[in-house]
Amino acid sequence: MSRIAYTGSPIFDGRSLHRDSALLSESGTCRGIVDAQAIPEGYETRELDGVIAPGFVDLQVNGGGGVMFNDETTPEGLRAIAEAHASTGTLGLLPTLITDTPERTRAAIAATRQAIDAGVPGILGLHLEGPHLSQARKGAHDPALIRPMDAADEELLLAASGDLPNLMVTLAPESVSTAQIARLAAAGVIVSIGHSDCSCDAARAAFEAGACCVTHLFNAMSQLGSREPGLVGAALDTPAVSAGLIADDIHVHAATIRAALAAKRGPGGIFLVTDAMSTVGSQITEFRLNGRRILRRDGRLTLEDGTLAGADLDMPRAITVLRRRVGLDLDAALAMASALPAGILRHPDGYGSIEKDRPLRAIRLSAADDGEMRFERCLD
C-alpha cells in the first residue's frame, strides 16, 4: 500500500485553492487535504512545484491523436482520442460526433457504450453535435446532413439516454419542437442549444422546455443586438443556463469573454470546452471531415474557404488564455476546466474535483509568472 503526501504546491480541489497544504493519496484514493504541518504518520512526503488540480473535464471533444470520432466510431478510436487528451491533463471527456448520417450516429452510440463497458479511461458518455441544427448557422457542419428531428431520431436519443451515463445533444430550435426538447430533457438528455439563428424568445422557450446549456457561446449562433438579444443574449440573461466557451484567442475575443463572465451570474456558468479535432496530441497538418479538407495553420483549423472548423486547442492552452488575456484568477480558470463542466453531467462520477475517499484523478501543472500553464503529469 502506497501512501503519499503531496506538498509544496497550491492545491485546487474544484472549488477552493488550498495553500500550505498537503494532498494525501493512498493507493490511488484521495484521503483528504490537510495542513502541511499535520501530515499523518506513514505518508511519504513528495514536494512538488506548480499547482495541483483535478484532471480536466471536456464536454466537446471531436478527436485527438490523429483520430476523428466521425471517422473512427469504434472503441479503439475512442481509446486513441482519450489517450491523446489525457496527455494534456483531460481525464474525463464526452467524445463528440459532428453532424453525420443516422447510421454513423447509431455507430457512435454503440461505440461509446462498448468503450465504457471495456473500461476505456475517461469516456464519460457521448455528445451528439447535430444533425438537428440551423442551416443559417451551420459553421463547418455539412449542410447536406443537417435536418429536422423526426420521431425516429427522438426515439433513438431517448433510448441512448437510458443506455449511456451521460448524453449531451446540441440542437437548434429551428429544427426541433419545444415538446421534443421537453421529452429529451425529462429522459435525462443534456440538451444544449447551438448552431442556431433563433430569436431570444425562441431560445428562452427552449430553456423553459428543459434545455440547460449553450454550445460554444458566441460561435455559430445569433448574436446580442440592441433590439434582438439573440441566443447570446438569452444565454447571458438566463441564470440557470450554462455555456461552453472556446478560449483559444481565435474563436472569441478576450474583451468579449470578460463581458460574458461579468454578465453570467447565477447557478449556471461559463465553462471551457476545447472543441478539439484530431490535431490534439499529433503533428498532422490537415485532415478530412465528411469528405471536406480541414487545414491546420498557426493554431487555427479551417475549411478551405476559411470557415473555422473546430479548434486546435487543449485545456492548458485555454487556461493560459484566460489568465494572460482575460485576466482571470487561477482558481476561477481551473474551475472552468474541471468542476463547472463536471457539474453539468448527469453522472459526473467524481470527475472534476478532488474529494476525500474518491479515486484521485489529479494532475500537476506548471504555472509560469506570465500565466502560461503546462500539463506535467498525473498524480498517483
Is the pLDDT at 233 greater than 80? The verdict is yes
Catalytic residue list: 275
**Cα 267–310–81 angle (5° rounding)?**
90
Secondary structure (DSSP) of 171-193: E-TTTS-HHHHHHHHHTT-EEEE
**Cα 274–28–336 angle (5° rounding)?**
25
pLDDT at 368: 85
Instruction: Give the pLDDT mean for 373-377.
Output: 95
pLDDT at 282: 87
Number of residues that make up the chain: 380
pLDDT at 296: 93
Is the pLDDT at 172 greater than 80? The verdict is yes
d(CA 253, CA 342): 25
Residues 273-306: tens digit of each pLDDT: 999 999 998 888 988 888 889 999 988 989 999 9
> What structural domains does the chain harbor?
3-53+355-378 (2.30.40.10), 56-342 (3.20.20.140)
Residues 53-76: tens digit of each pLDDT: 999 999 999 999 999 999 999 999
Is the pLDDT at 118 greater than 80? The verdict is yes
